[in-house]
Amino acid sequence: MSTMQAARCPTDELSLTNCAVVSEKDLQSGQHVTVKTTPNHKFVFTVKTHHTVAPGSIAFSLPQRKWAGLSIGQEVEVSNYNFDKSKQCIGAMTIEIDFLQKKSTDSSPYDSDKMAAEFIQQFNNQAFSVTQQLVFSFCDKLFGLMVKDIEAMDASILKGEPASGKKQQKIDIGLMVGNSQVIFEKAENSSLTLVGKAKTKEARQTIINPDWNFEKMGIGGLDKEFSDIFRRAFASRVFPPDIVEQMGCKHVKGILLFGPPGCGKTLMARQIGKMLNAREPKVVNGPEILNKYVGESEANIRKLFAEAEEEQKRLGANSGLHIIIFDELDAICKQRGTGASSTGVHDTVVNQLLSKIDGVEQLNNILVIGMTNRPDLIDDALMRPGRFEVKMEIGLPDEKGRVQILTIHTNKMRSFNLLALDVNIKELAAETKNYSGAELEGLVRAAQSTAMNRHIKATSTVEVDMERAEKLQVTRADFLGSLNNDIKPGRKLLIIGTTSRKDVLQEMEMLDAFSTTIHIPNISTGEQLVDALELLGSFTDKERASIAQQLKGKRVWIGIKKLLVLIEMSLQMDPDYRVSKFLSLLRDEGA
């Protein structure tokens, strides 16, 4: 053991070797030494000799001094260190990597396999310790490294035998050898992009909230819609970024939920936000975007996407998901060119939204959910793939859906024994055709208020009969009373069917599904035919008068569809021959 004085590394080239530099009079190149800075702190280095270092001095690079807590001129105790090669050869070493200087960052991908090969070549037969810091030069770029973890090499490999397959021991100090494995791990918040196999699977949060329970999400009657949305919009986001990148897959960036009011569009968007392990969704009412000042409406759109843009530049593929929910989307995204305003604010808002969702600088960390009950008003460019790619109609629930919705809204009453045994949810679902989810919720509330009203004393003051209130139950009669008197469906369903084969519907037992059957006969008189021609606007007044003269008092027999075909054929003729051609075709068809 000898006492030496810490010095600054003489050249930049030597500082990249990760070696402590000494005089050739003190030690030999390739030796390993223990440097004792305090009684309780020891550090192992590999040494290299250089003629510029004075005898009795040991030179360290800045990262080495930083790691060991050394200052220039500090006296340290130096002694030889011998590795036990049966236990201290490095099998695998995990290294945290980042650009050495933040101003020299770039977005180019770096091949971790080539990096690992270069690292082993540069630092072969050198000592490494956990938490050690060093500088690494690769592709004319300097990287700051820190050793995070070291595993000892399998003893079987050292003997030239196949690997034993046993879990290897963790060690604090190891010797780099030719067949060591080096794994690079990107530093937190680093903009470095690593590709290849010699990198760790970066820790990332699962996109689905771990506490989420699909069975308790409270979306009744929308199971199919929700599963379709999950398949189209979230399946790709569940996979690690590496696999998605290898497939060349692009995430869905937009979902449009449309349908009549009260059918669960807002509920669906709210539950999607809860399901995803992402930031709190930004919920925006369409009209809030608009501003009376020039350019402010467009600026409001840009502000919504600013956080996502900044994070994607910083973290790339590992950026978290940003959810933006637009309620009443049709208020700001009407077809361009249809607005009456001279300023064209609506048009520029649409343009700004188009460029942000899928413009020149593509964002892959956003999900925009739009809701509207007027999809026909929305600009076509927003509806193409790459923007609002997934379009999902949230319609009126069917009977199975109504059972689910009523079950959800009566669950709490059932759990506290406040729902009478005579209440049949399936019966109520059958009686509530054309009811939306909101109207079914209103029905439950109306039944609850009817039941509660029974326990209020009808005196000069409003009092609750507490003795009877403890036995409060919502009964079947409460639901049926609310169904008949309080809550009516907001819309009726009208189905009109046409057929020329009524007998076929009769055989299929479908005719009973239609409450009214109206027979539409053929045109049977010349007057009816002329009236039809006038309604269709097919001939001029003079031509129709000529046709009426020819058909006066005569019987005809022709259907509207056949008449349209004959008119179309007649109109192909020269105007002077149209009437004669039409009458000729009528005769030929036996009409």
What CATH number does residue 14 fall under? Answer: 2.40.40.20
Give the separation between CA 44 and CA 40, rounded to whole angstroms. 14
State residue 317's pLDDT score: 67
- Cα 164 to its chain centre, rounded Å, is 44
Tokens of 49: 């000799």
For residue 123, the domain's CATH number is 3.10.330.10
In a domain, 319, yes or no: yes
Q: Please, what is the Cα angle at 288 between 282 and 290, to 5 degrees?
A: 125
336 and 237 part of one domain: yes
Give the separation between CA 345 and CA 330, rounded to whole angstroms. 14
Number of Cβ within a 10 Å radius of residue 366: 23
In a domain, 401, yes or no: no
374 and 327 part of one domain: yes
The tally of domains found in the chain comes to: 5
Rounded to two decimals, what is the model's pTM?
0.57
Q: In what order do the strands lie in the sheet with 254-258?
A: 282-285, 322-327, 366-372, 254-258, 390-393
State residue 203's pLDDT score: 46
| 185 φ/ψ sector (left φ>0, alpha ψ -120 to 50, else beta) | beta
In a domain, 85, yes or no: no
229 and 157 part of one domain: no
450 and 357 part of one domain: no
In a domain, 203, yes or no: no
State residue 355's pLDDT score: 87
470 and 502 part of one domain: no
443 and 518 part of one domain: no
226 and 358 part of one domain: yes
173 and 221 part of one domain: no
Between the alpha carbon of residue 147 and those of residues 32, 40, 98, 127, the distances in Å are 18, 21, 12, 11
Tokens of 547: 């046709």
- Closest alpha carbon to 251 in 325, 353, 323: 323
Spell out, as residue ranges, where the chain has pLDDT lower than 70: 156-165, 198-218, 242, 277-278, 292-293, 315, 317-318, 338-346, 458-460, 490-493, 591
In a domain, 403, yes or no: no
221 and 328 part of one domain: yes
CB burial of residue 259 (10 Å; 0-12, 13-18, 19+): buried
384 and 239 part of one domain: yes
71 and 100 part of one domain: no
In a domain, 188, yes or no: yes
Length of the chain: 591
| Full residue range of the structural domain in which residue 553 is found | 496-591
Final residue belonging to a domain, choices 360, 393, 426 = 393
- Closest alpha carbon to 289 in 341, 340, 348: 348
Give the separation between CA 132 and CA 145, rounded to whole angstroms. 8
State residue 2's pLDDT score: 84
For residue 534, the domain's CATH number is 1.10.8.60
State residue 591's pLDDT score: 59
CA dihedral defined by 206, 211, 216, 221, rounded to 10 degrees? -20
Final residue belonging to a domain, choices 485, 511, 530 = 485
- The answer to whether the CB of 115 falls within 8 A of the CB of 193 is no
284 and 389 part of one domain: yes
Is residue 577 helix, strand or coil?
helix
In a domain, 284, yes or no: yes
Give the separation between CA 95 and CA 200, rounded to whole angstroms. 10
In a domain, 206, yes or no: no
